Structures are given as C-alpha cells and as structure tokens.
Amino acid sequence: MAPELSQEQVLQQTQTQTQSILPLQYSLMRLLELPVSDLESRVKNEMLENSALEEVQKEENTRSEESNDEDADGNEEANEASSNYESLEQYNEDRRADYLGDDDTPDYLLNTANNDSEYGYLLVKNTETFYDRLIAQIGEYDLTQRQKQIIEYLIGSLDNDGLLRKDLDTISDELAINYYLDASVKEIEECLHTLQTFEPIGIAAQSLQECLLMQLKDPDYHSEWKEIEQVIIEKYFDDFTHKRLTKIKERFKLNDESVKNVYNNLTHLNPRPGSGLSDSTLERNFQNIIPDFRVYHNDRGELEIMLNNGNVPTLQVSRSFKETIEEYNRNKDNLSREQKETYVYAKQKVEAAQTFITAIKMRNETMLNTMRSIVSMQKDYFEEGDESLLHPMKLRDIAERTGMDVSTISRVSNSKYVDTEYGILPLKFFFSNRFTQEGSDVSSLKIKSIIKHLITSEDKENALSDQAITEILKKQGYNIARRTIAKYREELGYPIARMRK
C-alpha cells in the first residue's frame, strides 16, 4: 500500500526590487538626445506612425493662445523663447548690424549670407567627429537593438583619442542607471570586440599598447618586420616607449638600419585613432550646424536665451479621434463589437499622442532650464567672450542647480550647440574640471592652455617631460597629478617628450 502523501499550502511573501520606465519618461529621454536638426524628422515620423497626432494650423494656434491662457501658462516661456525671426534675411541682417563691413564681420557670420536653410540658421565650417563616423558604422553590422544600444553607449564613453579607459564594470552600472539596461560585463565585452572592428583600426582599445597591437595585426598592415614589431609591442612595450633601441637590437639580432626601420614603423602607428578622424586628412567641408539655443544681449543689455525648435510643428490630438471617444462615451451601452474595437484603437492612439505632446513640452522646459543654468554659471564668458573667464563646471553642478539627474544633463549637453555673440559653440565647451590655485578654482581649459604654451615654447633638444611640466605648474600654484598632465597633453595632441625631440 502506497504511503499517504500530505499536501500543505504555504503562503510565502518575498520582496523583489525592479526598475520600470514609464512611456513618458522613455519618450522624454529619447527626445532630449536629439539636436534640433533631428527633432523635426522625429516629430514627422511620429505623426506618420500615429494618426491621432496632427499639426496645429497657424490661425487655429493663434486663436488657441488668445483664448486659453491657462493651458499656455506652463509653456508660455518656452513658446516665447522658441520663436524665430520672420525671415532669414532679417535674422542675418540683425546679427551683422553691429559690424562696419565684411572686413570687420566674423567669418561665422559671413557664412550665413547665402544660407538657404529652412531653419533660418547657420551654415558653418566644421569637421565630422569620430563619434558621428562610428555611429554611422553601426548600420553596417547585423546587430540586435540591444547590441546597438550598448555599442552606441561604448562609443559615447570613448576618450577624445578614441580609446576606452573606462572599465566595463562601470559601464555596466551606467547602462543600468541611465538606460535601465541590465547588461553583464561579458555581454559588454562582446559588443566592445565588435566595436573594435570599426574603422579606423585601433578604435576602442583599452590601452595604448592594445591600440598599437590592433593596428599591427590588421591584415592590411604590411612590413617585413611585422612579427618582430608585434612581439616588441606585446612583450617589450616598456623598451619601445623608453626608446631602448640597443636592447631591442640585441634581443632580435637586428642591425642598426633594421632597428631604425622597426622603430620608425612603430612610431608611425596611430596612437590616437579618434583624433585622426578630424585632422587634416579629412576635407573641411561646409555643413549645416543648427544651434539649439541662441544667447544674446537684448536692447536693455541683458542676456536672453532663445530655444530654437526649427520647423517643428505645434501638435495636437486629432479631432476625429476625440470625436470617436466622445461618441463611445455617449452610446457605450449600444455599441457593436466593431465599434468597441474602434474605440479601443482610438483610445490607445490618443493616449500615445498625448504622451508625445507632453514629452515635447517637457523637452523644451528641460532644455531651457539647463541652458539658463549654464549661462548663469558662465555669465562672465557670455558677457565678455574671453575663454579665461570660464569657470570650472561639471554636469553635476548643473544637475544640482536644476534639480535634475546628471544623466538628463548629459543628454541635453551632448551634440547640442549654442549660437553666441562670439561664435557657435557646443555645450560641452562650457564644461571643465575644477582645480585649485591658492584657494581659487580654475578650469581644466586654463590648465590645458598653460601646458600648450609650455610645450610650444620649449627647447626641442630638451623637451619637457610630464613630470617637469607638473613641477612648473606646482610652482605656479597648481597642484595637479602627473597622470592628469599626461592625459591633458594627449588630449592636446602632443606625444611624450622623447618623441618631441
């Protein structure tokens, strides 16, 4: 006889923590990332995908603003700030009015003379950034949406020279916090290997040594000493960087000419694959840079901020969809199954349309609040146009002033430009690290300026080492670590002292 089994129900309570993101938050984050040049196409695509969205006609928009002040209160400031001049001609003439003639007018203003941009903004000289080039290459690979998102974040995490010095654990944490994407270090590493196959060779290496090795292992790299060169970088990298040619010569039994050729080949590898995409090897073409903001002095001499929304239409929920929902509410007890399905469809589209419209308004407010805080912190620069007046400023400083997350400020400042009385500048121009000199804060821009002056005026026979520059700065009252000096030197495009002789 089989033993009798007892059944017992147990109620167990467990607590788990999950992160979810609301549709409005997700839409806002995506919109904040877009510069004005991409915002219009994004809005038009949304209108195509959602038939409940439609453009407010000008006459209707004017009547609505006059008759509905309560609804406009929350966005009055944003709407006023985003207004444009009546014509491009008027805008350009006003901006050039303070100058006597073309000889006195800055180049960036002269470049607007024949611009036919529908946004009424500027045609300026600019180079393609390595970020833009890398993002474009993502489409050449068969990747999932998740992989694309990780690779795009890796690209955004590269240093100016194109190397990835941020550890993958940190990137994993940032993806979880900023994008609610739970990606393991292994998954990120696989995406990194894909990114390292992008052009130029050496991009996204995690060290200079790895960067040079990637270039040496490239099938298109040809040298009769290729194998020796790989071994030198892989196993005797310290000898190479310290120019110990005698040791290399003896170790590989090379003659004087051969070791010289090997060293010459290695020093001609690209240690900064990122900066190589914006140097003189690329044509400097004219391309449209449409500023997202304009900061200028008004007639009273006060600084004013204008948000540019280009030709982005003012949106509203379609009347026909509203009428469908109203019809359902009046006759919901007598509707057929098909009519109820029509209502459900209309309701979903209306909710999505309302979410998108709200996200656009929140984007405008967030953009303006961020720009106001930047101008407030860097008012001295906007008044005078002198870079030495720029104050140390980090993303966290603006986040604290606005009450927003650092990730939000990062999205606003990335790929955005501001049209100032001193030229068109990326928002990132205003952010720099903080250092102290005799109790006063100074920015990293000033430190870089000093380093540049020291290197350009040095005796090339006795080039200054990073440690020597560190000591000079210390005597001037700047207590900065040698590794920081080395980082800034690399960002300025200068090699180590031995290679500057």
Give 113-137 pLDDT, tens digit per residue: 444 333 334 444 444 556 677 888 8
Let me know whether 472 and 400 are in one domain.
Answer: no
Domain boundary among 431, 457, 487: 431
Q: Which domain holds residue 465?
A: 434-500
Please name the helix (run of DSSP H) or strand (run of DSSP E) that holds residue 61, with its range, or none: helix 58-67
Is residue 183 included in any domain, yes or no? no
Q: Per residue in 56-111, pLDDT tens? A: 876 555 554 454 444 444 444 433 333 344 444 444 455 444 444 444 444 444 44
Let me know whether 360 and 476 are in one domain.
Answer: no
Let me know whether 395 and 411 are in one domain.
Answer: yes
| pLDDT computed for residue 361 by the predictor | 93
Is residue 99 included in any domain, yes or no? yes
Domain boundary among 431, 452, 485: 431
Q: For residue 306, give the nearest of 358, 375, 259, 409 by alpha carbon.
A: 375
| pLDDT computed for residue 85 by the predictor | 41
φ/ψ of residue 123, rounded to 5: -110, 110
Let me know whether 392 and 477 are in one domain.
Answer: no
Give the burial class of 96: count Cβ atoms within 10 A of its Cβ; 0-12 exposed, 13-18 middle, 19 or more buried: middle
| pLDDT computed for residue 36 by the predictor | 86
- For residues 371 and 381, what is the distance between their CA atoms, to the nearest angstrom? 14
CB distance 61 to 314 below 8 Å: yes
Is residue 454 included in any domain, yes or no? yes
Let me know whether 70 and 103 are in one domain.
Answer: yes
| pLDDT computed for residue 363 by the predictor | 93
Is residue 198 included in any domain, yes or no? no
Is residue 272 included in any domain, yes or no? no
Least confident of 25-29, 125-129, 482-486: 125-129
pLDDT at residue 192 above 80? yes
Work out how many domains the chain is built from and give that number. 2
Let me know whether 359 and 303 are in one domain.
Answer: yes
| pLDDT computed for residue 442 by the predictor | 63
Let me know whether 427 and 461 are in one domain.
Answer: no
CATH number at residue 476: 1.10.10.60
Is residue 145 included in any domain, yes or no? no
Domain boundary among 409, 431, 453: 431
Let me know whether 336 and 414 are in one domain.
Answer: yes
Per-range mean pLDDT, top range of 26-30, 231-235, 241-245, 422-426: 231-235
Q: Per residue in 368-395, pLDDT tens? A: 999 999 999 999 889 888 777 788 888 8
CB distance 49 to 41 below 8 Å: no
DSSP code at position 432:
B
